[in-house]
Amino acid sequence: MIWESWYWKQPLLEMADRLEHLKTSSALSDEELAQVERDIFIGFYSVRKLLEAPAKITDKTRHLSIPLQKHSNLKRVTWRNNHRLDELYDLSKAGLERRDVIFVCGRIIHSFVFAPCMSEGGGLDGAFFSSDLDKDKCLYLISIDEVISLFRQVGNDDPCEIKWSRDPETGKETLIVK
| pLDDT at position 112 over 90 | yes
> pLDDT at position 163, please?
87
Predicted local confidence at residue 164, as pLDDT: 87
Binning pLDDT at 50, 70 and 90, where does residue 26 land?
confident
Distance CA 11, CA 152 (A): 10
Region 86-105: mean pLDDT is: 98
Interval 128-147 mean pLDDT: 97
Computed from CA positions of residues 51, 52, 57, 60, in that sequence, does the dihedral angle turn out positive or negative?
positive
Query: Over the stretch 47-93, which tens digit does the pLDDT of each residue have?
Result: 999 999 989 999 999 999 999 999 999 999 999 999 999 999 999 99
Q: Span 139-163, mean pLDDT?
A: 96
In 10 A of CB 131, how many CB atoms?
Answer: 18
Mean of pLDDT values over 141-159: 97
Helix axis angle, 6-23 relative to 144-156, nearest 10°? Answer: 150
The residues, any chain, with a CB within 8 Å of residue 78's CB and separated by 6 or more, are none
CB 94 within 8 A of CB 117: no
